Amino acid sequence: MTHHAAQMGERMTYHAAQADERMTYYATKADVESVRSELYKALEAQTWRLLVWLTAVCSGLTGAVYYIARNVH
């Protein structure tokens, strides 16, 4: 029985070491939170760029249509 218990202990140690090694590939909560905050900051910046660009283009087109309507007969 003692030999069997020693083998079980070795197997458990081996599997625990393998599990610890596999855990290095997973993200921690801090890693996920860091990526999430970076993603939200990037999305917010991209949204504002798009909004400014869209406003400028629409204003320019509105001005062009107004000019054509008033001055081209």
Q: Look up the domain containing 46 and give its range.
A: 2-71
At 59 the pLDDT is 98
Residue type at 6 in one-letter notation: A
At 1 the pLDDT is 54
Q: How far is CA 45 from CA 41, 48, 57, in A?
A: 6, 5, 18
Q: What is the pLDDT of residues 2-51, one digit of tens each?
A: 777 777 777 788 777 787 778 778 888 999 999 999 999 999 999 999 99
- Look at residue 27 and give its three-state secondary structure: coil
Most distant CA pair in the chain, distance: 105
Q: Report the alpha-carbon distance of residue 4 to residue 12 in Å, rounded.
A: 12
- Global pTM reads 0.55
What is the total count of domains within the chain?
A: 1
